[in-house]
Structures are given as structure tokens and as C-alpha cells.
Structure 1
Amino acid sequence: MADPLIELKGVSKRFGDNAVLDQVDLTVYRGEALAIIGPSGTGKSTVLRIMAGLLAPDSGEVYIGGKRRKGLIEDAADPLHISMVFQQAALFDSLNVEENVGFLLYQHSRLPRQRIRQLVEERLEMVGLSGISQRFPAELSGGMRKRVSFARAIMANPDNPNDTPDVLLYDEPTAGLDPIASTVIEDLVRSLQCPKRGCQSYVMVTHQESTIRRTADRVLFLHRGQVQWEGKVHEIDTTDEPLIRQFFSGSVEGPIQVLG
């Protein structure tokens, strides 16, 4: 078994009266591509935010690289670098692409501006967006904005070898995209699973079947705040688990209750 990079042990989270996560156990291993799936409102994005250190669990333990995290990422540095790609790209509208992708280096490094521009162009080339560094987010399509957010997520300071992401977290990277744009993003996600281009491990939250099948090695099904099923992506077609059968068939009949 590969080394565990992220471990959630008995993690629970409530928002008011809503118990979003209930004693969740989850492990992300080095070198794997994990998809977290399930109906809307079952805590998938909450899991990502807890992994990223943007949200603290109410109870349970979070281990990053074998070290227990206490509090949020701002309270103490993790032994691993975790980077997140948000569902809506989360670009700064007032900054151009170069300033968005190079934001952390401009803010937190001593690299000269020309060197940062070079690094930005290299990352944009990786995601197939050469020559757009002076455009603003409003001038980009939805798919292009997503790719810019990918470039920002894999940006690293070459003077700091620990700055390259060890794990990428993707929150619905193909949501709202047409099938062709989705395929471009799915291919990009896989191509970045390389230490020379991005990182070896990633976790993805998605509802889209093509994205699950084309980008995941292992699948985890979250429902009612708990992990109800997990297996290899090819096992989706052979499992007798009613939750999986209903989810992928799109049937309104089954254990997943449809809200009226």
C-alpha cells in the first residue's frame, strides 16, 4: 500500500442543526486519483475544505503526511503542500491572468518580476493557454478560467523545493461546462498528475460521470454524512450496491431520496 498523504479519522461537522459529516474515515494515498461522489448536499465540498485546512472539523482527527493537524492551515504549516482548485475558479476580477497565476509569488517571494512572468508563462503553456497573460478573467470563457485556476494551483517557487503541491484538490472542475470543454479539463487533470508538471496525487469532487470515469482510479461514495461505498472506478459497473446503481442510472427510485 502506498503512503497515506491525508487521513480523516472520525471526522464530524455540523452547520447549525444540519449534521453534514458524521464520523467520516477517509485516506488519500500517494500517487492516487480519488473521486468523492454522492448526491448534492452530502458534505463532499466540506471534506475538501477540511483537507485543505480551510475548515476545521467539530470532532475527529486530520493527519497530513502523518502529522496531526490542529486548527486551520493558517495556524501552523502542514508537512505537505496541498493546493485547491475551486468550483468557480475564484480568480481576482481586478487582476489580469499573469497577476492571478503568479499571485502567491508576487506576494510571498523575493523573485524578480521578470522571473515570475516566465514561471507564469510556463504554467499557462502547461494548461494550453499560452499568450493570454494580459487578459482579464471577464475576457475568458468558463473553461479558460478553470484552466487559469489550474495554472495558479500548480504554481511553485523554484527556490523553495517544498513549494510544489503534493496533493491537488478539485471541487467540481467540470461543472457547467459543455462536453467538449469537460473533456479538455479531464485530460488536463490527468496530464498534471506528474511531478514534473503538477503533482502525483489528487482528490476530486464531481457529479459528472465522464469526469469520474476518465479521471479517477478510486471512488468514494458519500451519503448522509458517511462513506457508504468505495472501490475502483471499474467496480462501478459490477457492484450490487443500491446507492451506486441508483446514482449512475439517474433513477428516482431507490435509497437516495429525491427532494420535492
Structure 2
Amino acid sequence: MTEPLIELKGVSKSFGGNIILDEVDLTIYRGEALGVIGPSGTGKSTILRIIAGLTPSDGGEIYIQGEKRKGLIEDAADPIGIGMVFQQAALFDSLTVAENVGFLLHQHSKLSQQEIRQLVEEKLEMVGLPGICDRYPAQLSGGMRKRVSFARAIMSNPHNPKDNPEVLLYDEPTAGLDPIASTVIEDLVRQLQSVEGGCSTYVMVTHQDSTIRRTADRVVFLYKGKVQWQGHVTEIDTTDNPLVRQFFSASINGPIQAIG
């Protein structure tokens, strides 16, 4: 493969005395769909926040397009745009859909209100939600709120292409959704990978079987702070790795310790 778009080398993170990530190595290549999976509490969301530059690591190095990151995203801009879709959509309840999707442009661009509105409408059309600009998050279903958060994550500034996201980080985007709504979201993730104005590279954190199989090409399995297995999604059902086999069989017997 070519040079990694994002690379984590020996990244560690603890909260109190609890080791979440223990010298993790991870690579993300341009154009790939990477799934990060594993039991709850194994550091999947923490890895996303570290990649996004929202949470500092305790040790190790992070490279963005070959350039070593120093500090957090607020300390210095990365050479590429990194967008994040949070598990709970994280919309501002007091703002309309249009204001949510165009939030960063309103705050950090010199675009006119009319230009921002047009861009917002284009992104909402891309996620299958035309005509809802003036609604509020409370008026939307859970699946619709997730799609609005997708539109916000892929929002681009035509006057400053460096800000446009080249990588999307999805944190459990199908959590709490029924199977049909989950399928809509999974299809949208793949659609946004290939459509112009979307984002060709993404990392998907999830523990839902259908989401893993339908949205990931390469899969990394985290457990006890380390990468325990990685391979193509088609290898899930043929690997002899006991952690992977137990995880996908949902068995309480095996090396993964059941909690609760």
C-alpha cells in the first residue's frame, strides 16, 4: 500500500489507573473503510478522539499524512481535514437543522448566508433529507438526527479546500437504531464513500454485527488495550482467533470476560 494517511505508533492512554490503550499501532490508508471493533470499554471511541485531535495520548506518536502531530487539533491545524460523527449526533437543540449543518461555516468562513444555505441544502440532499432545513432536532427521528450529523461532518468550504474532510470518523452511528434504520445509515456510509462531495476514507467504530459486515473492508479488533487481530472483513468467519470467534458468536464462554 501507499504511505498511510494517518498512523498511530505506540499510542497509549490511561484514565486514572485504568489502561485503555497500551502501545497501539494503527494505520489508515486513503480510500479504505476501516472498522475498529471489540467489546465495550476497550478504547474504540478513545482511539477516534485521539485521531480527531480531541483527546491527548499519554504516549506514542501520531502522524497525519506523514507529518507528526504536536498537541491537539486546537493547537495546530492538520494537513488534512478530519470529520467526526458522534454516537449521539451531538446536535444543538436550540438551532435549526440548517444552522447545525452550517455551524462551522457560520463561525469560521466569510461566506454569505445565502451561500451557506445553498451548501447546507446540497449536503442534506446527499444524506436523503431534503426540505428539513427549518426543523429543529427535537422534530426528527433518531435516524434522521444521525443523518443530519453526517451532513454536518461532510460540510465543505469552497473558499478553503484545506478544511474539507478527507477522513470521517464514525462513533457507533447505528447505536440505538432499529434494524431498518441501521440499514439506512449503513447504506449512507457506503454512499458517502463513493459520491462526489462525500468522503472516501473512514474509520467505523461499532460492535453491531451488520454494521461491521456492511461498512468495513479491513477490521481491527481491540481488547485489553491492544490490537489482538486484524484482517479483511471476509476473514471474520474463518479466523481461528478465539477472541474474534467468541465476539461474533456472542458466547459467554471464552477469553473475553463477560461484564454484568
Identity %, equivalent residues: 76
Q: Which residue is 2:226 aligned to? A: 226
Shift of residue 198, structure 1, vs aligned partner: 1.1
Structure 1 CA distance for aligned equivalents of residues 195 and 78 of structure 2: 19
Deviation >2 Å, runs of 4+: none
Q: Which residue is 2:39 aligned to? A: 39
Structure 2 CA distance for aligned equivalents of residues 46 and 129 of structure 1: 30
Q: In the alignment, residue 119 of structure 1 is paired with which amino acid? A: L
Q: Which residue is 1:14 aligned to? A: 14
Q: CA RMSD in A?
A: 0.8
What's the CA shift string for 1:5-58, capped at 9, x where partnerless? 111100000000100000000000111000000000000000000000001100
Q: Which residue is 2:71 aligned to? A: 71
Q: Which residue is 2:80 aligned to? A: 80
Q: Which residue is 1:121 aligned to? A: 121
- Cα gap change, 1:195/1:180 in structure 2, threshold over 3 Å: closer, same or farther? closer
2:171–2:205 contact (8 Å) kept in structure 1: yes
1:222–1:229 contact (8 Å) kept in structure 2: yes
- 2:106 counterpart of 1:94: no
Structure 2 CA distance for aligned equivalents of residues 80 and 69 of structure 1: 12
Structure 2 CA distance for aligned equivalents of residues 92 and 113 of structure 1: 19
1:202-217 maps to which residues of 2 (within 5 A)? 202-217=202-217
Q: Which residue is 2:138 aligned to? A: 138
Structure 2 CA distance for aligned equivalents of residues 5 and 195 of structure 1: 20
Structure 1 CA distance for aligned equivalents of residues 106 and 188 of structure 2: 25
Structure 1 CA distance for aligned equivalents of residues 3 and 198 of structure 2: 19
Q: Which residue is 2:191 aligned to? A: 191
Q: In the alignment, residue 11 of structure 2 is paired with which amino acid? A: V
1:240-255 maps to which residues of 2 (within 5 A)? 240-255=240-255
Structure 1 CA distance for aligned equivalents of residues 20 and 207 of structure 2: 18
Structure 1 CA distance for aligned equivalents of residues 47 and 195 of structure 2: 24
Structure 2 CA distance for aligned equivalents of residues 20 and 70 of structure 1: 21
SS for the counterpart of 1:193 is helix
SS for the counterpart of 1:14 is strand
Alignment TM-score, normalising by the size of structure 2: 0.99
Structure 1, unpaired ranges of 5+: none
Structure 1 CA distance for aligned equivalents of residues 251 and 23 of structure 2: 28
1:2–1:31 contact (8 Å) kept in structure 2: no
1:164–1:199 contact (8 Å) kept in structure 2: no
SS for the counterpart of 1:4 is coil
Q: In the alignment, residue 219 of structure 1 is paired with which amino acid? A: V
What's the CA shift string for 1:172-191, capped at 9, x where partnerless? 00000000000000000000
What's the CA shift string for 1:178-214, capped at 9, x where partnerless? 0000000000000000361311100010011100000
Q: Which residue is 2:62 aligned to? A: 62
2:80–2:163 contact (8 Å) kept in structure 1: no
1:164–1:198 contact (8 Å) kept in structure 2: no
Q: Which residue is 1:177 aligned to? A: 177
Structure 2, unpaired ranges of 5+: none
Q: Which residue is 2:166 aligned to? A: 166
What's the CA shift string for 1:230-256, capped at 9, x where partnerless? 000000011010001000000000000
Q: In the alignment, residue 83 of structure 1 is paired with which amino acid? A: G
SS for the counterpart of 1:237 is coil
Q: Which residue is 1:5 aligned to? A: 5
Q: In the alignment, residue 61 of structure 2 is paired with which amino acid? A: E
